[in-house]
Structures are given as C-alpha cells and as structure tokens.
C-alpha cells in the first residue's frame, strides 16, 4: 500500500483513470504509482513507460495474472 505523511498534500479524485486495469507490457497512461491487482506489488513509473511484464518481482503465478491499476498520479501545474 502506498504511504504518505501529509494528507493535506493529496487530493481524492473520482477520475476514471483509477478504475482502468492495464496489462503488463503496455505503456502507462499516467505517471504515478501502479499496483498489481493480484499480488499487491507496487511500482512507480513515468507516463508512457512500459508496465512491467510477468517476470516483475517474483510474482507467484498462483495469485493470478499481473494486472496493473493506478493508485496515485501527480498533477502538474500549468
């Protein structure tokens, strides 16, 4: 689970980006922290970079396939 210290530095969002499930080997649509929906492993990745494949960390195949879900993404001021 992603950790934080100062809640006032984060904002809750209902953005649909948090609902999408991404297969390994696809580009991350947003920069941020993604979590495997089956084993719970978390990664930080730059937007457009490729989400890790089946051999990320020692993912136990008994936990199901790797699927990534966005947990936190940064918002840049314009």
**Tokens encoding 75:** 């918002």
Task: Indicate the pTM of the whole model.
Answer: 0.88
Residue with tokens 């136990």: 60
Closest-CA residue to 68 (of 38, 48, 31):
38
pLDDT per residue of the chain (78 residues) written in tens, 0 to 9: 889 899 999 999 999 999 999 999 999 999 999 999 998 889 999 999 999 886 556 777 888 899 999 999 998 887
Question: According to the model, what pLDDT value does residue 27 have?
Answer: 96
Contact 24, 66 (CB under 8 A): yes
């Amino acid at each position: 689970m992603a950790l934080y210290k100062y809640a006032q530095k984060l904002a809750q969002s209902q953005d649909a980006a948090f609902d999408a499930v991404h297969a390994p080997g696809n580009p991350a649509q947003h920069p941020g922290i993604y979590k495997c929906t089956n084993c719970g492993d978390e990664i930080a990745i730059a937007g457009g970079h490729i989400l890790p494949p089946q051999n990320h960390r020692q993912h136990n195949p008994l936990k199901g396939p790797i699927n990534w879900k966005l947990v936190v993404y940064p918002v840049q001021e314009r």
